[in-house]
Amino acid sequence: MSDAVPILKIGTTLLVSIQVDLQDDTALQLQEDVAERITRTGARGVIIDISGLEIVDSFIGRMLASVAAVSRVLDARTVVVGMRPAVAITMVELGLSLGGVRTALDVERGLALLAPEHESAEDVLLAAAEREAR
Amino acid sequence: MTTAPVATATATERLEVRADSDVVRVRQLVRAVAQKARLSLVDQTKLVTAASELARNTLVYGGGGDVEVELVTDGRRSGVRAVFSDEGPGIADLDLALTDGWTSGSGLGLGLSGSRRLVEQFSIDTAPGAGTRVEIATWSR
Ligand SMILES: Nc1ncnc2c1ncn2[C@@H]1O[C@H](COP(=O)(O)OP(=O)(O)OP(=O)(O)O)[C@@H](O)[C@H]1O
Ligand SMILES: [Mg+2]
């Protein structure tokens, strides 16, 4: 397992927070780590926070799409959050579409997307905190 | 018609591209020079993304090579010029290679065609057996 990217568990959701510029082999390793954590923890959702990324090129774009695809097969949903505006503009011009990958503006909205309809992100965080406390 | 700015370089930095970690270094260098050239954040992001694609091509298809990055000026505007060179197999059919979605490997086939859209100036010099040289530049507004 690589320790360049921390994977945290919040309730039944994995939070993958990419805070450093990833080299290609680290990105591939992360893909494996996420799949492994989903099966080990039974997580139902994955949030990938890319607010720390200054660019998303074709390689990272492909990695995000494939994490989402693998998660789906493992019965977990993926939301990519925190994309910077300049990154979004550049990705579109590059021709990169994150087809099939759900996106949200930030972690809180991402959690809300993954939560059952009646739950707010706050409820999810609260429930997770309660579970942790037990 | 606008004529391309006549550029004079004020500083040149050269990096070898032999491993994944070198591609990260190229991104960082291009970012630093783009900031010096006072490119807008969006233009910086486009240029760094293009540089990342081209450096990866140098590594993966060219078998490694080098990148030269320089801060350039035409007296009025500043800009960044980057040249990616390798002595690999070259590109036999350039039109095909520049087609969105065409890849000879397992990529998305967006690196060359996409990076051409992301920068202001883009040119390729390549021939089978003679390596590949891609030059890009973006100028401040
Ligand atoms: N430096 C190079 N030397 C030899 N061939 C190259 C070089 N750069 C690109 N090519 C050829 O051009 C094709 C298209 O390149 P491009 O970067 O657009 O796509 P890709 O690298 O295959 O996929 P992507 O960049 O989207 O991951 C490559 O598949 C390769 O055959
Ligand atoms: Mg490429």
**Which pLDDT tens digit goes with each residue over B2-59?**
556 666 766 799 999 999 999 999 999 999 999 999 999 999 999 999 999 999 999 9
Q: Work out how many domains chain A is built from and give that number.
A: 1
Cβ–Cβ of B20/A55 closer than 8 Å?
no
Which residues partner with B80 through β-bridges? B71, B138
Residue A73 has pLDDT above 90, yes or no: yes
Percent of chain A with pLDDT over 90: 79
Asked if the structure places residue A85 within a domain, the reply is yes
Distance (Å) from the alpha carbon of B53 to chain A's nearest alpha carbon: 7
Asked if the structure places residue A80 within a domain, the reply is yes
Q: CB within 8 A of B113, min separation 6: which ones?
A: A95, B98, B99, B100, B102
Q: Among A73-82, B34-43, B101-110, which stretch is predicted with the lowest mean pLDDT?
A: B101-110
From residue A88, give the alpha-carbon distance in Å to each of A73, A79, A114, A130, B35: 27, 15, 22, 36, 20
Instruction: State the complex-level ipTM.
Output: 0.91
What CA–CA distance (Å, rounded) separates B84 from B67? Answer: 5
Token pair recorded at residue A61? 């774009």
Asked if the structure places residue A1 within a domain, the reply is no
A106 CB burial (10 A radius; 0-12, 13-18, 19+): middle
| pLDDT tier at A128, thresholds 50, 70, 90 | confident
Cβ–Cβ of A23/B20 closer than 8 Å?
yes
Q: Which CATH superfamily is domain B8-139 in?
A: Histidine kinase-like ATPase, C-terminal domain (3.30.565.10)
From residue A66, give the alpha-carbon distance in Å to each of A21, A46, A76, A102, B91: 19, 13, 13, 13, 28
Domain coverage including residue A38:
7-133
Which residues in chain A have their CB less than 8 angstroms from residue B110's CB? 58, 94-96
Report the CATH number that the domain containing residue A28 is assigned in CATH.
Answer: 3.30.750.24
A99 touches chain B (CB under 8 A): no
Asked if the structure places residue A32 within a domain, the reply is yes
Read off the pTM: 0.91
Cβ–Cβ of A21/B27 closer than 8 Å?
yes
pLDDT at B1: 47
pLDDT at A133: 82
Would the CB of B110 count as within 6 Å of ligand 1?
A: yes
Residue A130 has pLDDT above 90, yes or no: no
Q: How many CB atoms lie within 10 A of CB B105?
A: 8
Three-state secondary structure of chain B: CCCCCCCEEEEEEEEEECCHHHHHHHHHHHHHHHHHCCCCHHHHHHHHHHHHHHHHHHHHCCCCEEEEEEEEECCCCEEEEEEEEECCCCCCCHHHHCCCCCCCCCCCCCHHHHHHHHCCEEEEEECCCCCEEEEEEEECC
Chain-centroid distance of CA B133 in Å reads 9
Asked if the structure places residue A22 within a domain, the reply is yes
A59 touches chain B (CB under 8 A): yes
Would the CB of B70 count as within 6 Å of ligand 1?
A: no
